[in-house]
Amino acid sequence: MKINGIAYRSVWLDADGWSVRIFDQTRLPWEVIPLRLTTWREAAHAIRSMQVRGAPLIGAVAAYGVALAMREDPAALDPVLEALAATRPTAINLRWALDRQRAVLHKLPPAARAAAAYAEAQAIADDDAETCRRIGENGLPLLEEIAARKGRVQVLTHCNAGWLATVDWGTALAPIYMAHDKGLAVHVWVDETRPRNQGAALTAFELGAHGVPHTVIADNAGGHLMQHGEVDIVIVGTDRVTRRGDVANKIGTYLKALAARDNGVPFWVALPHSTLDMRVRDGVAEIPIEERSAAEVTEMTGRTADGRIETVRVVAEGSPAANPAFDVTPARLVTGLITERGRCAASEAALLALYPEKA
């Protein structure tokens, strides 16, 4: 998507033809300077330090990390794959991308590996961008229908499920970008998404940079806006969707789904096939929820009026904090799922109809 009129992806090959560019997302939205990665160790550091985040993007950066390694020493394939896999051991896309590289490169002589690794990294990035583009196409009719009826569309989203979390387009934001680019009058309510503020920092930055009208709100405000008819549709991303359609996503998603149901607002979830976890049925009972550092609640980082980046404590001294990072929205509250294959109900039957190979 665009920043000041120039199209970007969240990872790309530099004009030199071999080094890799990313945005340091730990500095967004305050600094928008593409970092240049020149070694696989720099790629590993970028993943580990969350300079890049979002499962699809992590996979693509890891794949480029393999390409950088093959350029340096094509004999070092196995230790590099192992080291990159260890940067974020729980991210499923990371392993999947490295497995793709392994399958291609193992059968090649060392001299042929660098070129093949670059080609495969590019293919992984292109595949992700295409998957997200299709999610956008499949979500677009939902927004077009509202716009045709009301003249404009008010979308509420939570956290960041935009192009910065993928390679391009994003998941929840893909239909929004597409609608905006087609000239629909779209306005997005952006939940700030405490405690890590991915909405206020990343989603607001993305939408602003691409020119999509939006307004940041406290996470507390969505229910009130829905009560007063200010939200036509909710679209969020997800970290895991179970066999029966329960949706794990950033903490607070469940509260918005409850408000949507109470006010008759459609609640949609956008995802690629890789987010489906058919081994799990009851999301609330079965999905373990990561408890993250209390400091994410007690402290906030931002920019002072004179441009310094400062971290301040916002909780009374001595008071402890808890920080569950995700919650689960039961399928009964989900209007439907938007995937790269089309839309479907949040149910096992509907998911298996769309993805019969997952039975």
Interface residues with a copy of itself (CB under 8 A) are 28-30, 189-190, 192-195, 197, 200-202, 204-205, 207-208, 214-225, 227-228, 250-252, 254-256, 258-259, 262, 284, 289, 297-305, 309-324, 326-328
Q: Would you call 287 helix, strand, or coil by DSSP?
A: coil
Contact 60, 100 (CB under 8 A): no
End-to-end CA distance of the chain: 35
Inter-CA distances, 107 with 78, 168, 186, Å: 13, 31, 49
Tokens representing 128 are 């992700």
Distance CA 34, CA 3 (A): 12
Dihedral over Cα of 285, 289, 294, 300: its sign: negative
The residues with which 204 forms a beta bridge, in sequence order, are none
| DSSP letters spanning 36-86 | EE-SHHHHHHHHHTTSS-SHHHHHHHHHHHHHHHHHH-GGGHHHHHHHHHT
Distance CA 246, CA 329 (A): 6
Distance CA 233, CA 154 (A): 7
Tokens representing 204 are 């607001």
Residue 55's CB: how many other CB atoms inside 10 A?
A: 21
Question: Backbone phi, then psi, for 7, in 5-degree steps?
Answer: -75, 135
Q: Cα 347 from chain centroid?
A: 23
For the annotated catalytic residues, the residue numbers are: 239
